Structure formats: structure tokens, C-alpha cells
A and B are shown apart, each in its own frame.
Chain A
Amino acid sequence: MTAYLMKKGISLTAVLFLVSLTVFSVLFVLPGDPAQIILGINASPETLAALRARLGLDQPFWVQYGGWIGSLLKGTGGHSITYDTAVFDLISSRLAVTGPLALMAMAIAVALALPLGIFAARHQNRPGDAAVMAGTQVGLAVPEFWLGILLMLLFSVHWGVFTAGGFPGWGEDFRGSLKALFLPALALGLIRAAILTRLTRSSMLEVLREDYVRTARAKGLKERTVVYGHALKNALIPVLTIFGLQMGQLLAGAIIIENVFTLPGLGRLVFQAIGQRDLPVVREVVLFMAAAVVIVNFLVDLSYAAVDPRIRLDGQ
């Protein structure tokens, strides 16, 4: 177990190092001068040069890269050019939107997917199953941002029960903030429910064919006990994998839906920061997102062991 953790830890660090180097290089060649954007079109060459020097933009690549990694290791991080605050503070304030959004979306997805998936598996090849599967096919085909727009059209424009985008802030208006996240979470959640339902169904079908389930049935246990007591637990393993992957992807993948609903989340932060050439923000948010994905995947691996004692974490 320790050896496994060691090995995983080293490969995680290597991946993050590669990501940091890639992101930094990409941003290094990005056209557009941050100093010019800050100072506007009428700035004199002298003030431009002075600002470039202050931002460290006149240094060679390795010096800039080293300085950045150093500041990360010290735990200070960079300083946002547009917002004039520490990037770490920006990330944590934006995460307070994207994090709950991702959680709500996954909660909606699981709440729909587990019952529907189990239902479909138990009614395999019957009309109920067909209906659920047809629904999931539609769910897979609908772009989530369009679903978001449709929900907005219905709930905000037509019925007026939700505001069309924007976010009041947790401190200002807690209930309003929850409400602001509901429609985007629903859009994200419904699409992911389609994926998870299909997965729950197929994984459930597979487990129901296994010997121990047959044995349990043969012993005369009630169907409910067999399904929920024995089969479900094992059927959940692949579901859990996808859940973890989706959760990690959602932190970054909410970019589009955050734009639809103009939510001040991480995705929108990085999207705007690219346009504003706020390079310290871009590189740290990208690194943070990559780290989130990698670490969530790792946690998923670990949790296998908790769900299924047959899986041992010895790197095999």
C-alpha cells in the first residue's frame, strides 16, 4: 500500500510538472502584450517598458518559469493583473461558485441515474427499459449549453421563476445564490444523468448474471435483498469511476455553462483571463484544474478498495 502511494505520488508530481511547463510555454508564446492591454492604446513606450519590467515580462523564459514555480512552492502564488489580488484568493472565491455547482450537478445526476438505471436493468428488454434508454440517448445528444438556454427560456423568460443568469454572492443572499446555481446545475446534471443511467444499467446487468447473485437467489432471498443488498454494491464500482472522472472534469468543464448563466466561476475566470492576457491567473487556474482532475482520479482509485475488498492497491 505504501509503495503504491509512493509510486502514485511521484507520477502525480511528474504529471503536474509537465502540465505547468506546458501551460507556461503556451502562454509564453501567446500573442499580445499584457502591459499594453493594461495601459491602453495611448501609452508611451517608456511607461510600457517600465510596466513590463515591473511585471517581470522582460526576463528570459527560464527565469520567469523558475520564479513562478518558486512562488507556488512558497505558497504565495502570483498576483492577478486585472483584479489586483492574489490569484489564490481569486481561485478560492471562484471555487465557491464552481464547487457547489459541480456538487449540485452530480447530486442531481446520481439522484436520477441510480433509480433509473436499476429500474431499467430489472426490466431489461421490456417497454420501461426501452423508454429509459431512449431518454438517455436524447440526453447524450443534447448539448448542455443548449439545455441551459432552453431551461432559461422556460424558467426565466417564460415563467419568470428564476433570474436569467448572474450570481448574487453567498454572503449577500444565500438563498438567491442557491437559486442562481439551480438551473445551470440541472443542465449539467441531466446530461450526466444520461451517462450514469446507462452505466448503472449495464453494470447492474453484468452483476446480476454473476454466480453469487444466482446463489443468493437460489437460497430464496427476496429479490429486493438480492438487488440492493448484494448486486448494487458491486455494480457501483464502475459507476463510481465515472462519477469521479465527471466530478474532476466538471470543475473545468463548467466553462461553457458558466458563460451561459454568467456565473463568476473558475471556468469563466480563466476564459476571461485569457482574453485579458492576465497570465498569472491563466496559468495558476489551469494548473489547479489539472491538479483537481488528477487528484480526483487518484481518490477514485483509492475508493475502489473501500467498496470492493477484492481490489488491492499494489499497482497491478
Chain B
Amino acid sequence: MAMGRYFKNLNFSIGLALSTMVVVMALVSLFWTPYSPNTMDAHHRIEAPSLAHPLGTDQYGRDQLSRVMVGAVNSIIVGLMTVAIGMGAGIVLGLTSAWGGRLADEAIMRFSDLLFGFPAVLSAILITAVMGPSAVNAMLAIGIFYIPVFARLTRASALTIKGLDYISAARAAGQEEVAIIRRHVLPNILSPLIIQATVQFAVAILAEAGLSYLGLGTQPPHPSWGRMLNEAQTFMELAPWMAVFPGMAIAWTVLGFNLLGDGLRDILDPRLR
């Protein structure tokens, strides 16, 4: 596969550039930040952006740039974990649905209808209320809603392949069903799944920001973009910059991964346009 094909796609190039910057920022923050992200300084509270603090400081005098950087790590972890949960369970359920006979198919599809129909924010709030607010529980709450997304996609893709000749041929050659799925089906449904995963990655970052804004996601003092926005709102009149930069970081990241997903779809799966 020539990489040139990828870079000719504008969506892909811009998306890759934006999201790479976020990943690099997150990686750098693991080793270095301008200030320690949680260290308070009573003498430099709510200072406007300056050379010393390019994004200003918050109500505790913490450096906002350092916190935005570390917040990127948080967001990336949330994206990866939720997609892993949704994709892992979704692929298994989707394949069971496609291969397991009518009853399993019906049960799994109705279950996913139920999840789809239910307001996601509300369930996430209920889940965190029962299990306690934490980053892990927020990821679980979001990841659960990804299961039907990946299950349906897997099922649909698998069903089209199931009827193809080479599967029948493999079966005639005496291969086991599990082996057929692993060798012939999975590799062929990977493209749509990867495209979907990129998009869901972005959605998860948005969702976690919303939950953290409500105080149900990442707990203090660990920086999370959503929680930073929550704190910023009370200081809106005194320190508007606190409300601007974490939101920009979210929009930047989500835009990056959305574009990346669109670009990948254009390239890998032109039929879906």
C-alpha cells in the first residue's frame, strides 16, 4: 500500500497532523511539563496568560498549560479504554449474532436496540452514582454504550462475508468455524471496525468531558479537561481564559480524530461514502 494515497486525502492529512500533536503533547507531559500540574501557588492565583504562564493560572495558582498537557493523557486513555471495551465485547457479540443462529441473533439485536434507545448521559450518571464517581467507572459507563455500535457493525460486515464463496470453500476443505472466523472473516471486516473505532475514540473524549464537567469522571487533583471547564465556570467573570483553553483542547482533539476517521473511510472503504 502506497502511503502517498493516504496523504493525498486532505481529511486524513489534517486529522493526522492534529491528532499527532495531541499524542506528542501527551507523551511529552509524561516526562516534562513547565510546572508541576498539581502544585498550588497562593501568590499567582487566576493570572492572565503571560510569558511565564502561556495559558494563565487557575484559582489555586496552578499552571494551566501543564494541566492541559497532562489532561491530554487522560483523554487518550479514556478514548483507548472505551473503544477497547466496546470493540472487544462488540466483536464477540456481533460474530455470535452472525454465526450463532436465529435465537442468539434476535436476543443480541434486541439488547442492542434497548441500549440504543436509552439516553446515554442518563445511564452514565446512574452508573457512576451506583459505583461512585471515578475515571474508571466513567470509562465503563461510556464503553458499555459502544458495545451495540461495534456489535451491529461486526454483524453486518460478517453477514456479507459469510455468504461468499471462499468461506464455503474453506468450510468444504474441513476447516473449523473458529479458524474460519479468525483467518478469513476477521481480517476482512477490520477496515470498517478501525474507521468506527477512530470515530468512537473522538466521541468518547467528548462524553468523558461531559461526565467530568458534572463531576462524575476523573477525580481531583488529576487534570481532566471537562473538570477544568467546570471549575472555570465559577470564575468566568474573573478569569475567562480558564474557560477557553481546556475547551479548545477538547475540540482540537475531537476534530483531529474525526477527520482521521473520515479520511480513513475515504481511503479504505470508498463504498461507504
Contact = CB atoms under 8 A, between A and B. Distances in A.
Interface of A: 15, 18-19, 23, 26, 29-31, 137-138, 140-143, 145-146, 149-150, 152-153, 157, 164, 248-249, 251-253, 255-256, 259-260, 267, 270-271, 274-275, 286, 289-290, 293-294, 297
Contacts of A270: 122, 125
Nearest to A254: B121
Contact of B233 (A141, A252, A260, A274): A260
A157 B236 contact: yes
Contacts of A137: 255, 258-259
B173 interface: no
Contacts of A293: 117-119
Interface stretch (B88-96, B155-163, B183-191, B207-215): B207-215
Nearest to B252: A141
B254 A290 contact: no
B130 A149 contact: no
B61 interface: no
B247 interface: yes
B229 A259 contact: no
Contact of B214 (A138, A141, A253, A256): A256
Given A29-B130, A153-B236, A271-B125, A290 B251 contact: no
B250 interface: yes
B259 to A, nearest CB: 6
Nearest to B18: A141
A274 B125 contact: yes
Given A141-B254, A143-B254, A252-B121, 5 more contacts: A15-B117, A26-B126, A29-B130, A140-B258, A145-B209
5 contacts: A23-B126, A142-B254, A150-B247, A256-B214, A259-B213
B10 to A, nearest CB: 9
Given A29-B130, A153-B240, A290 B118 contact: yes
Contacts, number: 114
A190 B112 CA distance: 29
A253 B129 CA distance: 17
B251 A138 contact: yes
A138 B121 CA distance: 22
Given A15-B114, A256-B213, A143 B250 contact: yes
Given A145-B213, A146-B229, A274-B129, A152 B251 contact: no
B121 A253 contact: yes
B120 to A, nearest CB: 8
Contacts of B73: none
B206 interface: yes
A297 B259 CA distance: 30
Nearest to A158: B240
B197 interface: no
Report which residue of A30, A164, A256 has the largest number of chain B beta carbons within 10 angstroms of its beta carbon.
A256
A141 B202 contact: yes
Contact of A274 (B118, B126, B243, B255): B126
Contacts of B213: 143, 145, 256, 259-260
Contact of A141 (B229, B236, B243, B258): B258
B251 A157 contact: no
Interface in B231-250: 232-233, 236-237, 240, 243-244, 246-247, 250
A270 B121 CA distance: 12
B216 to A, nearest CB: 10
A249 B117 CA distance: 9
Interface string B120-144: 1110011001100000000000000
A224 to B, nearest CB: 27
A289 B123 CA distance: 11
A107 to B, nearest CB: 21
Interface string B203-226: 000100110011000000000001
Contact of A142 (B119, B122, B251): B251
Contacts of B244: 150, 153
Contact of B210 (A145, A274, A286): A145
Given A137-B258, A153-B240, A143 B251 contact: yes
Contact of B119 (A15, A146, A149, A289): A289
A10 to B, nearest CB: 13
Contacts of B209: 143, 145-146
B119 A30 contact: no
Contacts of A294: 117
A78 to B, nearest CB: 17
A255 B121 contact: yes
Nearest to B126: A26
B119 A253 contact: yes
A256 B119 contact: no
A289 B122 CA distance: 9
A300 to B, nearest CB: 12
Report which residue of A142, A145, A146, A152 has the largest number of chain B beta carbons within 10 angstroms of its beta carbon.
A146
Given A157-B236, A290-B119, A146 B247 contact: yes
B110 to A, nearest CB: 9
B251 A149 contact: no
A270 B123 CA distance: 11
